[in-house]
Amino acid sequence: MCKPIGLLTLQGDYQKHQQAFADLGRETFGVRRPGELESVSCLVIPGGESTTLTRLVDRVGLREPVREFACDHPVLGTCAGLIMLANRLEDERKGHFGVEPLGLLDCTVLRNGYGRQIDSFTAPVGLESLDGSHEPFPAVFIRAPRITRTGPEVEIIAEYEGEPVAVRRGTLLGLTFHPELTNDLRIHKAFLEMVDRV
């Protein structure tokens, strides 16, 4: 309860997450170096560019520390953050452009699964299995990835057009959309409840 929320601040829209947690009265702490994980209660991997994020994670030596941290701390990944959490990437083109995910969530992800920026969209998704609420959540998909396979231990929290868009295993939560770009704080709140239970 006393440690702040960790935010991976290597690149991306981490300020939007910071704002969301601030609106819920919670302090955040930026993580850019391995030792900084000791100061936080959980980790949020924001949206951004997954090519950039995976390269920076390796350059700053955060890959193994984050993997270890995730064993006993909650982690939330949104969009590029979900790509980071996945254990496999699907891509028609070879080599996945050097994107090496952390391999924490047993699922396969297709980057830019809906197309380019002009194909970005907002759609309502149900959150009942996350917090029991009945009101649909306005999910913002920006050059979003698609989850094409989930392993047996992975629970599907929300779907859009019959495909998973939010998945969970234990205290790892991955979303293909951006709750931080809306004023609806239900997902951040649900994540905080997970953090406070640990």
Asked if 67 is part of the footprint of other proteins (rule: CB under 8 A), the reply reads: no
Distance separating alpha carbons of residues 92 and 89, to the nearest angstrom: 10
**Which helix (H) or strand (E) segment is 87 a member of?**
strand 86-90
130-169 binders of other proteins (CB under 8 A): 140, 142-143
10-39 mask for other proteins (x: CB under 8 A)? xxxxxxx---------------x-------
- Detail the DSSP E strand segments found in 91-175: 105-110, 121-125, 137-141, 146-150, 155-160, 163-169, 172-175
Q: Which residue shows structure tokens 């009101």?
A: 135
Q: Is the Cβ of residue 93 or residue 197 nearer to other proteins in the bound state? A: 93
Q: Which residue in the set 4, 90, 114, 120 belongs to the binding site for other proteins (CB under 8 A)?
A: 120
Residues touching other proteins, count (CB under 8 A): 39
Distance separating alpha carbons of residues 91 and 102, to the nearest angstrom: 17
Q: Can 79 be counted among the known catalytic residues? A: yes
Q: Which residue shows structure tokens 């599907």?
A: 156
Q: Give the interface with other proteins as residue ranges (CB under 8 A).
A: 9-16, 32, 47-49, 51-52, 55-56, 59-60, 79-80, 91, 93, 97-99, 111-112, 115-118, 120-122, 140, 142-143, 178, 181
Catalytically active residues, by annotation: 79, 178, 180
